[in-house]
Chains A and B, each alone.
Chain A
Amino acid sequence: MRNKLLCTLLLLSVACSFLTAQSPTDALMMPQHQICILGQYASSTWDEYWEGTNKRSNSNLGTFNAASTMLMANYGITDRLNVMAGLPYVRTKSDSYLQGQRGLQDLSVWLKYRPLAIAAGPGEVRGFVTGGVSTPVSRYVNDLLPLSIGLRCPTASLRAVLNYTFYSGLYATAQAGHTWRGRTNIDRDSYLYNYQLYYTDEVPVPNVFDASARIGFIKERFQTEFWVERNACVSGDDIRYNDGPFPTNKMEATVAGWFGKVFVTRQWALHASVSKVFAGRNAGQATTWAAGTTYFFTVGE
């Protein structure tokens, strides 16, 4: 009996670490010629996961942890167009005998455009469109889920964000996006997908739809926000009973969280967030916390 350990993806928890500061999913923009550099550490832990839709624990895996350290930059090309890039370093571990993984994961680049900003009633309505691509930057192990640091496939995403901010600082944001994901190549040349045996090392990774809703309060010196988010693969198979997860799995998670940011000076802010997965499929029930810092400055004016 291969004691191959059963479990699930950290993937979603890693994705969630992007949700802080100026991100592809929020309603913030950098003014023209301003740049911000963000550094963040996030830690995601779970000891229960959904095998298909059944929640379970696994004594052979014990507790799973993924930590990511991310560097991200956001530059205001104009007041209405920002470019962003991010690269996480991820480390995974569990209580099992399987060796935890570490490495640079995927480099992401986004363009964020604001086509809409109009005063309406006691506040302002703003709309954003974000397009992004990502590509793996190292040949990390992708066939050892959940310990793999990612799925090692190219992605492209498109999303829309709609925000209403009262002049008092209260705001609400709705966001929806679709991520197209390509193939990943594993080291084996056969695998089961939907109970069918494929004789190739090429593995199709399902696309993902995500949507989130946020309400918060933002002032010059601080921001606080509560959010719920839903990530769901639009296709894919379930983890077979007592088998391990695989990149073809239909992963889903509904996450709720809090985010807060304080400006220590005009140019330097600290932020923190916590979140928890409360429903899922082929995913770990992760609790994630993150803390980071952002530095703002102006270039080339």
Chain B
Amino acid sequence: MKKLHFSYLALLCVTAVVVFARCSKTVDDPVYEPYPETSLDQNAGTWKTYVITSGSQFSLPAPGAPTSAAYLAEVEDLKQMAAALTDEQKEAAQFWGSNGVLRWHEIAREFTAQYNVPPNYNADGTYPWPDPANPTVYPRFPFCNPPYASRAFALLSVAQYDALVAAWNLKFQHNRKSPAHYDNSIAQLIPANDLPSWPSEDAVVAAASREILKFLFPGEKELIEGKAAEHKNSRLWAGANVQSDLDAGDSLGRKVAERIIAYAKSDRMGQANNQAGYPALKDDAVARGFTDLWVSQDIPARPPMLPYFGNVKPWNFSDSVKVAIRPAVPPKSGSPEFNTALEELRDMVKNRTAEQWRIASYWADGVGSYTPPGHWNRTACELIYEKTFNEIRSARALALMSTAVQDAGIVCWDTKYYYLLPRPTQVDRSISTSTGIPNFPAYTSGHSTFSAAAAEVLSYLFPDHAAEMNELAKEASNSRIYGCIHYRFDCEVGLESGKKVGSYAVERGKNDGAE
């Protein structure tokens, strides 16, 4: 009998070991490593800029010659630093050395996810709205919803790109190389290249990103400044720049960022949450013959999300083009076409497959996530890393895509508040969803418009991934039907609209001097 006990206990122990192995909590988070420069892009200083007039708009006092006493002293400092590096400093050199442009987008995505939570209702059923003057007081500023996020990624990308064009212009004017070129006792911790290192492209990116992110996420000032300081210092620790490379880069990045912030202050985002103007939008929709208007499905009813975001200034076309490409009238509620779309959703509630659940969940990009613009930002960053783009090509790719994604948001929001089409759940309460119901009208689908615009630009930039990008956009679009958040026509028209919006950015890309 005793023997039996022990054999069962032994079995239990073996099982426990196996199960504990399965109970591992290690998660597989990707690691990005530094890679060598793939091209110098000597002419990038002449590429077409977005906000600054051209790459030559800003000048800096010329750098000291590599033979000057000041420069030699800087190289000496670098060597002393290299002799006393901590493990953390070496890690930082690798971390930022992988591609500083992408690292700042990572930071932006993390902020987006952290700030993407709608404010809770007050006891009296009203909702508070974040106050940019008091960003750390609840509800924290900003509420980083998808339109806000689309603009944040666009402003960050444009600032990085314009600043890098200006940097490239100066780099090849003065042609001062990295310290290892002049002193072969300097061993760089990251791959070396022939790119002139004054002004430092990393300091330019750090300063431009720092200023833009402080503007967009003012409550994160200290964290952002800490990251920027680390980014710049990492270049000293890596032996890739001397201090004057960084100082010049910081100064240039800051100047360019000032221009981008001035642009952002006049892009009409300040009026996007004009709730007092919302009744006028409803009156206009009624005047157009739309009687069953969208109402908030939140309890208590929440003011619509950014009803005037459709009025924000687009990047790649004029306001009149925006009106010209506005999607056509959706099927009226009660029409046969509308009823067919509604019927599909009623079936979906009953027969949603596991795969449809997975897709709806994968693309939900809802509260606490980096939003659909953040999802595509990540995809773009992964492709850039795969193709080992240099900093300026990285920033260009992100600027082309992110401006298109914001334009898609603008066109989509304009359309949503033009027709004010109710969500499926408003029309039929028996429809249950697999994800939260967005607090704005249905037509057209934001996911579809954002995704098609992003896929159009990424297909242009990464032609060998074109088919995959279009498939992803289609899946993102379908996910909203699977989730019963959207009618099929919201999604199909949204995809067409987004593709059209994206084509304007592609056209710009073909003519910006980089091809």
A residues contacting B by CB (< 8 A) are 1-5, 59-60, 77-78, 80-81, 97-100, 111, 113, 131, 133, 139, 141, 143-144, 153-156, 158, 180-183, 186-192, 195-200, 202-205, 240-244, 246
Nearest residue (CB) in A for B305 is A1
Question: Given A59-B300, A97-B297, A131-B16, are A2 and B367 neighbors across the interface (CB < 8 Å)?
Answer: yes
A182–B297 contact, CB under 8 A?
A: no
Residues 93-124 of chain B: 1 if any A CB is under 8 Å from the residue's CB, otherwise 0? 00000000000001001100110011111000
Question: Given A4-B435, A4-B436, A197-B370, are A154 and B5 neighbors across the interface (CB < 8 Å)?
Answer: no
For window 441-495 of B, CB contacts with A under 8 Å fall at: none
A181–B23 contact, CB under 8 A?
A: yes
Q: A60-B298, A111-B8, A200-B28 known; 13 other A-B pairs, CB under 8 Å?
A: A1-B305, A2-B367, A3-B436, A3-B439, A4-B367, A77-B8, A78-B5, A98-B434, A111-B12, A113-B5, A181-B23, A196-B110, A202-B27
Pick from B195-203, B355-363, B385-393 the stretch touching chain A. Answer: B355-363
Nearest residue (CB) in A for B357 is A141
Interface presence of B207 (CB below 8 A)? no
A199–B436 contact, CB under 8 A?
A: no
For window 351-398 of B, CB contacts with A under 8 Å fall at: 352, 354, 357-358, 361-362, 364, 366-370, 378
Question: Given A182-B25, A197-B113, are A98 and B368 neighbors across the interface (CB < 8 Å)?
Answer: no
Chain A nearest Cβ from B225, distance in angstroms:
18
Residues of B within 8 A of A113 (CB): 5, 8-9
Interface presence of B188 (CB below 8 A)? no
Cα(A144)–Cα(B434), bound, Å: 8
B434–A78 contact, CB under 8 A?
A: no
A1–B118 contact, CB under 8 A?
A: yes
Question: Given A5-B436, A154-B19, are A189 and B362 neighbors across the interface (CB < 8 Å)?
Answer: yes
Interface presence of B515 (CB below 8 A)? no
Residues of A within 8 A of B120 (CB): 241-242
Partner of B138, one of A97, A191, A205, A241: A241
* 8 A-B pairs closest in CB distance: A4-B436, A1-B118, A204-B25, A182-B23, A2-B436, A2-B366, A187-B361, A156-B19
B118–A180 contact, CB under 8 A?
A: no
Chain A nearest Cβ from B53, distance in angstroms:
36
Residues of B within 8 A of A133 (CB): 15-16, 19
Number of chain B interface residues as a range: 35 or more
Cα(A143)–Cα(B121), bound, Å: 24
For window 1-22 of B, CB contacts with A under 8 Å fall at: 1, 4-5, 8-9, 12, 15-16, 19-20, 22
Residues of A within 8 A of B1 (CB): 78
Partner of B109, one of A77, A111, A188, A197: A197
A200–B118 contact, CB under 8 A?
A: no
Nearest residue (CB) in A for B111 is A197
B23–A131 contact, CB under 8 A?
A: no
Chain B nearest Cβ from A203, distance in angstroms:
7
Chain B nearest Cβ from A50, distance in angstroms:
15
Question: Given A1-B439, A4-B367, A187-B358, are A199 and B20 neighbors across the interface (CB < 8 Å)?
Answer: no
Chain A nearest Cβ from B219, distance in angstroms:
13
A1–B145 contact, CB under 8 A?
A: yes
Nearest residue (CB) in A for B28 is A200
Cα(A158)–Cα(B438), bound, Å: 44
Cα(A113)–Cα(B7), bound, Å: 13
B27–A200 contact, CB under 8 A?
A: yes
Cα(A240)–Cα(B357), bound, Å: 25
Residues of B within 8 A of A2 (CB): 118, 364, 366-367, 435-439
Cα(A185)–Cα(B433), bound, Å: 21
Interface presence of B425 (CB below 8 A)? yes
